[in-house]
Amino acid sequence: MRIGIYGFGAIGRIIAKAAIERGFEVVAAVDIDPNLIGRDIGLAIDLGERLGVEVTNNPTVLADADVVIHATGSYLERVFNQIALTIDMGIDTISTCETLAYPYYRYPVLARKLDDIAKARGVTVLGTGINPGFLLDTLAVVLTAPFNRVRKIRAIRSIDAAKRRESFRKKIGVGEDPKVVEERLRRGEITGHVGYAESVLIIADAAGIQPTKVIEEQSIVVAEYDVKSAGITIPKNMNRGIKGYGAAYIGDREIIRIEFYAYVGAEEYEEITIEGKDYTISWRSTGTPGDMATAAVILNLVEKIKEQKPGLLTMADLIPFRPKIVL
pLDDT band, residue 287 (cuts 50/70/90) = very high
Helix (H, G, I), strand (E, B) or coil at 192: coil
Question: What are the CA-CA distances from residue 214 to residues 30, 77, 252, 305 (Å)?
Answer: 36, 21, 11, 30
Burial class from Cβ neighbours inside 10 Å (0-12, 13-18, 19+) for residue 94 reads buried
Asked whether residue 11 carries a pLDDT value surpassing 90, the answer given is: yes
The domain made up of 138-287 has a fold known as Dihydrodipicolinate Reductase; domain 2 (3.30.360)
Among candidates 14, 243, 258, which has minimal Cα distance to 131?
258
Could you give the CA distance from residue 261 to residue 33 in angstroms, rounded to a whole number? Answer: 31
Nearest to residue 305, comparing CAs of 86, 8, 43?
A: 86
| Calpha distance 9→57 (Å, rounded) | 13
Q: How far apart are CA 185 and CA 159, in angstroms?
A: 20
**Helices 10-22 and 290-305: angle between axes, nearest 10 degrees:** 60
Q: Residues, the chain, total?
A: 327
Percent of the chain with pLDDT over 90: 99
Write the pLDDT tens digit of every residue in 191-245. 999 999 999 999 999 999 999 999 999 999 999 999 999 999 999 999 999 999 9
Predicted confidence at residue 61, as pLDDT, reads 98
Q: Which pLDDT value is given to residue 326?
A: 93
Q: Give residue limits of the domains in the chain.
A: 2-129+294-318, 138-287
Q: In this predicted structure, what is the pLDDT of residue 49? A: 94
Residue 57 has a CB neighbour count (10 Å cut-off) of 13
Residue 279: what residue type?
A: Y
Give dist(CA 319, CA 327) in Å, integer: 21
Is the pLDDT confidence value at 327 over 90?
no
Q: Please name the CATH architecture into which domain 2-129+294-318 falls.
A: 3-Layer(aba) Sandwich (3.40)
Alpha helices by DSSP H, listed for 76-195, are 76-88, 108-121, 138-142, 166-171, 178-187
Contact by Cβ (8 Å): 96, 11: yes
Mean pLDDT, residues 21-45:
97
pLDDT surpasses 90 at 275: yes
23: burial class by Cβ within 10 Å (0-12, 13-18, 19+)? exposed
- Kindly give the interhelix angle for 76-88 and 108-121, rounded to the nearest 10 degrees: 10
Q: For residue range 254-264, list pLDDT tens digits in order.
A: 999 999 999 99
CB-CB contact of 51 with 42 (8 Å): yes
Separation between Cα atoms, residue 248 and residue 210, nearest integer Å: 9
Decide if 2-129+294-318 and 138-287 have a common fold. Answer: no
How high is the pLDDT of residue 230?
96
Predicted TM-score (pTM) of the model is 0.97
- The answer to whether 99 and 198 have CB atoms below 8 angstroms apart is yes
According to the model, what pLDDT value does residue 268 have?
98
Distance CA 5, CA 28 (A): 6
Asked if the model's pLDDT at residue 69 lies above 90, the reply is yes
Cα–Cα nearest to 14, from 296, 268, 287: 296
Q: DSSP string of 286-302? A: S---HHHHHHHHHHHHH
Tens of pLDDT, residue by residue over 100-137, are 999 999 999 999 999 999 999 999 999 999 999 999 99
Tell me the pLDDT of the chain averaged across its residues.
97
How sure is the predictor about 303, in pLDDT bands with cuts at 50, 70 and 90?
A: confident
